[in-house]
Amino acid sequence: MRFLRFLPLILALVLFPGCPRQTGQGRRSGALRPEASRPLAAVNPGLPWPVLALLKAGDNPLWFELGPGGPELIESPHNASLAPYTPWPHARFISGLLLWEDFLVMAVNRDGFLILGPDSSGEADLVLYRVGAGVFWDPYTTESLFIWEDRPAVLLYRNDFFSYELPLPLENQVFVLDKMSPLPLASRIPALEISPPGGPWEAEVLRRGADGLWYYRMREKDIEQAESAFFSTGDLSRPGQQVSDEEWRQSFLGEAMEIPGPDSPDWPWLSSLPELPEDFIYTDMILFGNVLIASWEEEQVPAIGAAGFMVIRVDIF
Protein backbone atom coordinates (compact mmCIF):
# COMPACT_ATOMS: atom_id res chain seq x y z
CA MET A 1 0.00 0.00 0.00
CA ARG A 2 1.41 3.34 -1.02
CA PHE A 3 -0.16 6.72 -0.22
CA LEU A 4 0.41 10.28 -1.41
CA ARG A 5 3.34 11.93 0.33
CA PHE A 6 2.19 14.03 3.24
CA LEU A 7 3.35 17.50 4.17
CA PRO A 8 6.10 17.81 6.79
CA LEU A 9 5.11 17.31 10.40
CA ILE A 10 3.78 20.33 12.34
CA LEU A 11 4.52 19.49 15.92
CA ALA A 12 2.17 19.96 18.83
CA LEU A 13 3.80 17.85 21.54
CA VAL A 14 4.88 18.24 25.13
CA LEU A 15 7.97 16.11 25.69
CA PHE A 16 8.99 14.72 29.05
CA PRO A 17 11.58 17.14 30.47
CA GLY A 18 15.16 15.90 30.37
CA CYS A 19 14.66 13.39 27.53
CA PRO A 20 16.49 14.73 24.46
CA ARG A 21 15.60 13.23 21.09
CA GLN A 22 18.27 11.09 19.51
CA THR A 23 18.78 11.51 15.79
CA GLY A 24 19.74 8.71 13.47
CA GLN A 25 22.97 8.30 11.59
CA GLY A 26 22.75 9.36 7.95
CA ARG A 27 19.06 10.33 7.69
CA ARG A 28 19.03 13.14 10.22
CA SER A 29 16.09 15.40 10.88
CA GLY A 30 16.12 18.93 12.22
CA ALA A 31 15.79 19.59 15.94
CA LEU A 32 12.17 19.49 17.11
CA ARG A 33 11.49 21.79 20.04
CA PRO A 34 8.58 21.12 22.42
CA GLU A 35 5.90 23.78 22.52
CA ALA A 36 5.91 23.85 26.32
CA SER A 37 6.87 21.78 29.30
CA ARG A 38 5.49 21.07 32.75
CA PRO A 39 5.85 18.34 35.41
CA LEU A 40 3.99 15.22 34.35
CA ALA A 41 3.64 13.50 37.71
CA ALA A 42 0.04 14.69 38.05
CA VAL A 43 -1.14 13.68 34.56
CA ASN A 44 -2.89 10.56 35.88
CA PRO A 45 -2.03 10.31 39.57
CA GLY A 46 -3.78 6.96 39.94
CA LEU A 47 -1.40 5.20 37.52
CA PRO A 48 2.17 4.13 38.38
CA TRP A 49 3.33 3.90 34.76
CA PRO A 50 6.24 6.15 33.70
CA VAL A 51 5.02 9.01 31.47
CA LEU A 52 7.04 9.80 28.35
CA ALA A 53 5.05 12.55 26.66
CA LEU A 54 1.80 14.41 26.18
CA LEU A 55 0.55 14.27 22.61
CA LYS A 56 -1.61 16.76 20.78
CA ALA A 57 -2.89 14.94 17.70
CA GLY A 58 -3.59 16.98 14.58
CA ASP A 59 -4.16 16.76 10.85
CA ASN A 60 -0.44 16.21 10.34
CA PRO A 61 1.09 13.03 11.73
CA LEU A 62 3.32 12.59 14.74
CA TRP A 63 5.98 10.00 13.86
CA PHE A 64 7.83 7.97 16.48
CA GLU A 65 10.74 5.62 15.87
CA LEU A 66 11.51 2.84 18.35
CA GLY A 67 14.99 3.47 19.72
CA PRO A 68 17.01 1.69 22.41
CA GLY A 69 15.99 4.37 24.91
CA GLY A 70 12.33 4.32 23.94
CA PRO A 71 10.26 6.01 21.22
CA GLU A 72 11.99 8.98 19.56
CA LEU A 73 10.15 11.75 17.76
CA ILE A 74 11.18 12.11 14.10
CA GLU A 75 9.89 14.28 11.27
CA SER A 76 8.91 11.25 9.16
CA PRO A 77 10.17 7.74 8.31
CA HIS A 78 12.28 9.44 5.63
CA ASN A 79 14.33 10.73 8.59
CA ALA A 80 14.48 7.41 10.46
CA SER A 81 17.86 6.24 11.69
CA LEU A 82 19.86 3.85 9.56
CA ALA A 83 19.11 0.96 11.87
CA PRO A 84 20.84 -2.26 10.77
CA TYR A 85 18.55 -4.90 9.32
CA THR A 86 18.00 -7.52 12.02
CA PRO A 87 16.13 -10.87 11.80
CA TRP A 88 12.63 -10.10 13.05
CA PRO A 89 12.79 -12.15 16.29
CA HIS A 90 15.70 -9.97 17.45
CA ALA A 91 14.51 -6.62 16.04
CA ARG A 92 12.72 -3.81 17.84
CA PHE A 93 9.21 -3.43 16.36
CA ILE A 94 5.58 -3.25 17.42
CA SER A 95 4.32 -6.81 17.58
CA GLY A 96 0.72 -5.99 18.47
CA LEU A 97 -1.93 -3.29 19.05
CA LEU A 98 -4.80 -3.80 21.47
CA LEU A 99 -7.69 -1.69 22.78
CA TRP A 100 -8.14 -2.12 26.53
CA GLU A 101 -10.66 -0.10 28.53
CA ASP A 102 -9.63 3.58 28.04
CA PHE A 103 -6.19 2.72 26.66
CA LEU A 104 -4.47 1.59 23.50
CA VAL A 105 -1.68 -0.87 24.31
CA MET A 106 1.30 -1.63 22.06
CA ALA A 107 3.68 -4.54 22.64
CA VAL A 108 7.23 -3.76 21.53
CA ASN A 109 9.39 -6.76 20.69
CA ARG A 110 12.37 -7.14 23.07
CA ASP A 111 11.34 -3.99 24.92
CA GLY A 112 8.07 -3.62 26.82
CA PHE A 113 4.64 -2.01 26.68
CA LEU A 114 3.81 1.39 25.17
CA ILE A 115 0.43 2.75 26.23
CA LEU A 116 -1.65 5.66 24.94
CA GLY A 117 -4.38 6.96 27.21
CA PRO A 118 -6.44 10.08 27.93
CA ASP A 119 -4.99 13.05 29.79
CA SER A 120 -7.12 13.65 32.88
CA SER A 121 -5.94 17.28 33.01
CA GLY A 122 -7.45 18.01 29.60
CA GLU A 123 -4.30 19.77 28.38
CA ALA A 124 -3.48 17.18 25.71
CA ASP A 125 -5.25 14.53 23.64
CA LEU A 126 -3.16 11.57 24.77
CA VAL A 127 -0.57 10.54 27.32
CA LEU A 128 2.24 8.21 26.20
CA TYR A 129 3.48 5.74 28.81
CA ARG A 130 6.31 3.20 28.66
CA VAL A 131 6.26 0.12 30.89
CA GLY A 132 9.08 -2.42 30.89
CA ALA A 133 11.83 -0.53 29.10
CA GLY A 134 14.03 -3.02 27.29
CA VAL A 135 15.94 -4.74 30.04
CA PHE A 136 12.77 -6.54 31.00
CA TRP A 137 12.14 -8.53 27.82
CA ASP A 138 15.46 -8.63 26.02
CA PRO A 139 16.74 -11.14 24.75
CA TYR A 140 13.34 -12.84 24.35
CA THR A 141 10.90 -12.59 21.44
CA THR A 142 7.42 -11.11 21.94
CA GLU A 143 5.03 -12.82 19.56
CA SER A 144 1.56 -12.49 21.09
CA LEU A 145 -0.51 -9.68 22.59
CA PHE A 146 -3.85 -10.74 24.10
CA ILE A 147 -6.16 -10.33 27.10
CA TRP A 148 -5.57 -12.65 30.06
CA GLU A 149 -7.60 -12.25 33.24
CA ASP A 150 -8.86 -8.85 32.05
CA ARG A 151 -5.35 -7.45 31.49
CA PRO A 152 -3.15 -7.07 28.39
CA ALA A 153 -0.60 -9.87 28.28
CA VAL A 154 2.37 -10.91 26.16
CA LEU A 155 3.99 -14.27 25.60
CA LEU A 156 7.80 -14.29 25.57
CA TYR A 157 9.84 -17.12 24.13
CA ARG A 158 13.33 -18.13 23.03
CA ASN A 159 13.41 -18.05 19.24
CA ASP A 160 15.70 -20.78 17.94
CA PHE A 161 15.24 -20.24 14.20
CA PHE A 162 17.60 -17.27 13.87
CA SER A 163 19.70 -17.98 16.98
CA TYR A 164 22.95 -19.87 17.38
CA GLU A 165 22.77 -19.82 21.16
CA LEU A 166 19.59 -19.50 23.20
CA PRO A 167 19.25 -17.43 26.36
CA LEU A 168 18.35 -19.12 29.63
CA PRO A 169 14.77 -20.42 29.85
CA LEU A 170 12.17 -18.18 31.46
CA GLU A 171 10.53 -19.18 34.72
CA ASN A 172 7.41 -17.33 33.52
CA GLN A 173 6.69 -16.77 29.83
CA VAL A 174 3.64 -14.55 30.29
CA PHE A 175 3.70 -10.95 31.54
CA VAL A 176 0.70 -8.69 32.06
CA LEU A 177 0.15 -4.94 32.21
CA ASP A 178 -1.36 -3.96 35.57
CA LYS A 179 -2.70 -0.58 36.67
CA MET A 180 -1.15 -1.06 40.11
CA SER A 181 2.41 -1.82 38.97
CA PRO A 182 5.09 0.31 37.23
CA LEU A 183 6.50 -2.89 35.67
CA PRO A 184 4.91 -5.84 33.85
CA LEU A 185 3.89 -8.63 36.21
CA ALA A 186 4.68 -12.31 35.70
CA SER A 187 1.65 -14.54 35.22
CA ARG A 188 0.94 -18.17 34.45
CA ILE A 189 -1.48 -19.69 31.95
CA PRO A 190 -2.37 -23.30 32.85
CA ALA A 191 -3.08 -24.31 29.24
CA LEU A 192 0.55 -23.59 28.32
CA GLU A 193 2.01 -25.72 31.10
CA ILE A 194 1.72 -28.96 29.20
CA SER A 195 4.56 -31.41 28.72
CA PRO A 196 4.30 -33.53 25.57
CA PRO A 197 6.76 -36.44 25.20
CA GLY A 198 10.33 -35.29 24.58
CA GLY A 199 11.22 -31.72 25.31
CA PRO A 200 11.71 -29.53 27.19
CA TRP A 201 8.82 -27.68 25.54
CA GLU A 202 7.99 -23.98 25.53
CA ALA A 203 5.03 -22.01 24.19
CA GLU A 204 5.83 -19.77 21.22
CA VAL A 205 2.58 -18.34 19.86
CA LEU A 206 -0.83 -17.88 21.47
CA ARG A 207 -3.77 -16.39 19.60
CA ARG A 208 -7.54 -16.63 19.32
CA GLY A 209 -8.76 -18.23 16.11
CA ALA A 210 -11.63 -17.15 13.91
CA ASP A 211 -13.75 -19.88 15.55
CA GLY A 212 -13.33 -18.32 19.01
CA LEU A 213 -10.94 -20.99 20.31
CA TRP A 214 -7.43 -20.30 21.58
CA TYR A 215 -4.62 -21.82 19.50
CA TYR A 216 -1.01 -22.13 20.60
CA ARG A 217 2.22 -23.61 19.36
CA MET A 218 4.66 -25.49 21.58
CA ARG A 219 8.23 -26.22 20.54
CA GLU A 220 11.04 -28.36 21.89
CA LYS A 221 14.07 -26.39 23.08
CA ASP A 222 17.75 -27.05 23.73
CA ILE A 223 17.82 -30.16 21.56
CA GLU A 224 18.78 -30.87 17.95
CA GLN A 225 16.02 -31.47 15.39
CA ALA A 226 13.42 -29.79 17.59
CA GLU A 227 9.78 -30.38 16.73
CA SER A 228 6.63 -28.30 17.14
CA ALA A 229 3.19 -29.32 18.42
CA PHE A 230 -0.09 -27.41 18.13
CA PHE A 231 -2.99 -27.19 20.58
CA SER A 232 -6.38 -25.55 20.98
CA THR A 233 -8.67 -24.85 23.90
CA GLY A 234 -11.77 -22.87 24.69
CA ASP A 235 -10.50 -22.06 28.20
CA LEU A 236 -6.90 -21.10 28.91
CA SER A 237 -7.30 -22.18 32.53
CA ARG A 238 -7.50 -25.80 31.33
CA PRO A 239 -5.18 -28.00 29.22
CA GLY A 240 -5.81 -27.91 25.47
CA GLN A 241 -6.17 -30.68 22.92
CA GLN A 242 -3.48 -31.34 20.34
CA VAL A 243 -4.43 -30.45 16.76
CA SER A 244 -2.79 -31.00 13.39
CA ASP A 245 -0.57 -28.47 11.70
CA GLU A 246 -3.32 -28.06 9.08
CA GLU A 247 -5.85 -27.14 11.78
CA TRP A 248 -3.29 -24.67 13.13
CA ARG A 249 -2.91 -23.02 9.72
CA GLN A 250 -6.69 -22.92 9.18
CA SER A 251 -7.14 -21.13 12.49
CA PHE A 252 -5.38 -18.09 11.01
CA LEU A 253 -7.79 -17.77 8.09
CA GLY A 254 -10.29 -14.97 8.42
CA GLU A 255 -8.15 -13.00 10.88
CA ALA A 256 -5.20 -12.12 8.70
CA MET A 257 -4.47 -8.41 8.98
CA GLU A 258 -5.41 -6.79 5.70
CA ILE A 259 -4.98 -3.04 5.58
CA PRO A 260 -7.71 -1.66 3.29
CA GLY A 261 -6.78 0.38 0.24
CA PRO A 262 -7.05 4.18 0.13
CA ASP A 263 -10.37 4.00 -1.75
CA SER A 264 -12.06 1.68 0.77
CA PRO A 265 -15.64 2.88 1.46
CA ASP A 266 -15.38 1.63 5.06
CA TRP A 267 -12.25 3.68 5.81
CA PRO A 268 -12.63 6.84 3.67
CA TRP A 269 -9.99 8.79 5.60
CA LEU A 270 -7.24 6.34 4.59
CA SER A 271 -6.68 8.37 1.43
CA SER A 272 -5.15 11.10 3.59
CA LEU A 273 -2.48 8.88 5.15
CA PRO A 274 1.11 9.70 4.25
CA GLU A 275 3.04 7.62 1.79
CA LEU A 276 5.90 5.66 3.28
CA PRO A 277 9.41 5.46 1.79
CA GLU A 278 10.41 2.53 -0.35
CA ASP A 279 10.75 -0.73 1.63
CA PHE A 280 8.59 0.69 4.46
CA ILE A 281 5.13 -0.72 5.18
CA TYR A 282 2.27 -0.18 7.60
CA THR A 283 1.91 -3.35 9.66
CA ASP A 284 -1.18 -2.63 11.76
CA MET A 285 -3.53 0.23 12.56
CA ILE A 286 -6.30 0.91 15.02
CA LEU A 287 -8.76 3.75 15.52
CA PHE A 288 -8.68 5.15 19.08
CA GLY A 289 -11.59 7.57 19.25
CA ASN A 290 -10.86 10.08 16.49
CA VAL A 291 -7.12 9.33 16.53
CA LEU A 292 -5.51 6.74 14.26
CA ILE A 293 -2.43 4.88 15.47
CA ALA A 294 -0.52 2.92 12.82
CA SER A 295 2.63 0.85 13.26
CA TRP A 296 5.26 0.86 10.50
CA GLU A 297 8.46 -1.00 9.64
CA GLU A 298 11.35 -0.90 7.23
CA GLU A 299 11.28 -4.45 5.88
CA GLN A 300 13.74 -6.64 4.06
CA VAL A 301 12.25 -10.08 4.67
CA PRO A 302 12.97 -11.72 7.05
CA ALA A 303 14.66 -8.72 8.65
CA ILE A 304 13.51 -5.36 10.02
CA GLY A 305 15.41 -2.08 10.05
CA ALA A 306 13.76 1.04 11.47
CA ALA A 307 10.31 0.66 13.05
CA GLY A 308 7.83 2.76 14.95
CA PHE A 309 4.31 4.16 15.01
CA MET A 310 2.34 7.16 13.81
CA VAL A 311 -0.41 9.20 15.49
CA ILE A 312 -2.83 11.34 13.47
CA ARG A 313 -6.30 12.80 13.99
CA VAL A 314 -8.86 11.66 11.44
CA ASP A 315 -12.33 12.87 10.46
CA ILE A 316 -14.63 9.88 10.89
CA PHE A 317 -17.90 11.70 10.29
User: Does residue 264 lie within any of the structural domains?
Assistant: yes
Q: Is residue 1 part of a domain?
A: no
Instruction: Assess whether pLDDT exceeds 50 at residue 39.
Output: no
Q: Percent of the chain scored above 90 by pLDDT?
A: 55
**Under 8 Å between Cβ of 282 and 77:** no
Q: Where are the beta strands (DSSP E) in 47-136?
A: 51-55, 62-67, 70-74, 86-87, 94-100, 103-108, 112-117, 126-131
Cα 237 from Cα 248, distance rounded (Å): 20
Q: Which amino acid is at 157?
A: Y
pLDDT for the residue 13: 31
Residue 21 confidence (pLDDT) above 70: no
The larger pLDDT score, comparing residue 273 to residue 65, is at 65
* Residue 197 predicted with pLDDT over 70: no
Full domain range(s) for residue 217: 13-313
Tell me the average pLDDT of the chain: 81
pLDDT (tens digit per residue) in 50-66: 999 999 988 899 999 99
Does 263 map to a domain?
Answer: yes
What's residue 198's pLDDT?
Answer: 60
Q: In which element (H, E) is residue 84 found?
A: none
For residue 119, tell me if it sits in a domain.
yes
Per the domain annotation, does 8 fall within a domain?
no
Q: pLDDT digits over 237-250, tens only?
A: 998 999 999 999 88
- Mean of pLDDT values over 263-285: 79
The answer to whether position 7 is within a domain reads no
Could you give the percent of the chain with pLDDT greater than 70? 77
pLDDT at 17: 29
Nearest-10 Cα torsion for 102, 312, 97, 168: -110
Tell me if 111 is assigned to some domain: yes
**pLDDT tens track for 160-181:** 888 778 888 888 999 999 999 9
Provide the pLDDT for residue 271: 65
Asked whether residue 3 is assigned to any structural domain, the reply reads no
**pLDDT for residue 165:** 83
200 against 286, higher pLDDT: 286
What pLDDT score does 253 carry? 74
Per residue in 131-149, pLDDT (tens digit) is: 987 667 888 999 899 999 9
Instruction: State the total domains in the chain.
Output: 1
What's this model's pTM, rounded to 2 decimal places?
0.82
> CB of 76 within 8 A of CB of 83?
no
